[in-house]
């Protein structure tokens, strides 16, 4: 009997809760319909005018408005953060740029003769190269050139009688000119021209550029390349009097001749 009495009490309690829930649900429907028409806050006086029982102030949001706000927040969050694929692309590009090392060109020398060259170990990107360089200039003072070799010979004979050293140039760009001397110093050449002018001869001067060859041991490499340190140590150990190891512009290699 005691269990039957307890069961009856539980059933009565459940029925009371259900009735209370139904009344609360009806009241919320009234409030929501007024929110849609007039706003988010329903006043107690408005409920009294509508014939509903007194109750505290109720504030709520319609379900649709809440869902729309949630969607807006989601879209805003997505727009504030770059897509993961774009972020990954930027990271990969930055890493690739950091891995790119500048090309370096090192020159050991100069060596005056081909015979000065020596064997180099493989795998260090070393090679011998020949450079043609301007060693200096000579300055050739002359008269003419004249129209014929006979005219040049007549001027030569005249100078010889005046005891002025000279000779007839028989070939080249100054063919049929009369040479008055070759000078290594441009000032001395100009002084000789002034001296000949005082004697009544209008002389001229031409610069003759002299070229020579010299040799370099060249290394074209990258600082992150395997064996970089070994190659630098090999070059540094072979410096000496008149020979240095210098880092130069790699464009110079195009003007050199490869000897390997």
Residues 170 and 214 in one domain: yes
Query: How much of the chain, in percent, has pLDDT values that exceed 70?
Result: 61
In this structure, what DSSP letter does residue 247 have? E
For residues 10 and 132, membership in a common domain is answered with: no
Shared domain for 111 and 31, answered yes or no, is: no
Q: pLDDT exceeding 90 applies to what percent of the chain?
A: 58
The pLDDT of residue 195: 96
pLDDT of residue 59: 42
Q: For the chain, give the number of residues.
A: 260
Report yes or no on 141 lying in a domain. yes
Residues 173 and 253 in one domain: yes
Closest CA to 208 of 238, 239, 173: 173
Residues 114 and 240 both lie in one domain? yes
110 and 52 share one domain: no
Pair 194, 119 in one domain: yes
Q: Is the pLDDT of residue 112 over 90?
A: yes
pLDDT reading at 97 higher than 90:
no
pTM of the model: 0.52
Specify if 84 maps to a domain.
no
Listed range (12-16, 137-141, 241-245) with the worst mean pLDDT:
12-16
Mean of pLDDT values over 21-38: 49
Q: Are residues 187 and 62 in the same domain?
A: no
| Beta carbons of 223 and 99 less than 8 angstroms apart | no
CA 197 – CA 193 distance, rounded (Å): 6
Q: What is the pLDDT of residues 62-89, one digit of tens each?
A: 445 445 655 654 554 455 444 455 445 5
More confident site: 115 or 20? 115
């Amino acid at each position: 009997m005691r269990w039957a009495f307890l069961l009856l009490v539980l059933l009565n309690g459940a029925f009371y809760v259900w009735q209370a829930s139904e009344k609360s649900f009806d009241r919320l429907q009234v409030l929501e319909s007024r929110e849609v028409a007039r706003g988010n806050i329903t006043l107690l006086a408005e409920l009294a005018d509508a014939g509903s029982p007194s109750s505290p102030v109720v504030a709520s949001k319609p379900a649709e408005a809440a869902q729309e706000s949630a969607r807006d927040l989601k879209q805003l969050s997505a727009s504030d953060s770059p897509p993961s694929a774009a972020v990954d692309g930027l990271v990969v590009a930055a890493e690739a740029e950091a891995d790119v090392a500048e090309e370096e060109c090192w020159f050991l020398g100069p060596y005056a003769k081909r015979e000065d060259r020596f064997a180099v170990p493989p795998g260090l990107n070393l090679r011998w190269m020949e450079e043609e360089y301007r060693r200096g200039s000579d300055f050739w003072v002359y008269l003419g050139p004249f129209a014929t070799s006979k005219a040049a010979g007549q001027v030569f004979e005249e100078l010889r009688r005046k005891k002025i050293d000279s000779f007839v140039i028989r070939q080249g760009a100054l063919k049929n000119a009369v040479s008055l001397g070759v000078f290594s110093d441009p000032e001395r050449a100009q002084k000789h021209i002034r001296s000949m002018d005082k004697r009544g001869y209008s002389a001229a001067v031409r610069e003759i550029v002299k070229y020579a060859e010299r040799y370099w041991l060249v290394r074209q490499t990258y600082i992150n390349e395997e064996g970089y340190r070994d190659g630098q140590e090999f070059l540094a150990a072979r410096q000496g009097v008149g020979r240095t190891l210098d880092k130069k512009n790699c464009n110079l290699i195009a003007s050199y001749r490869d000897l390997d």
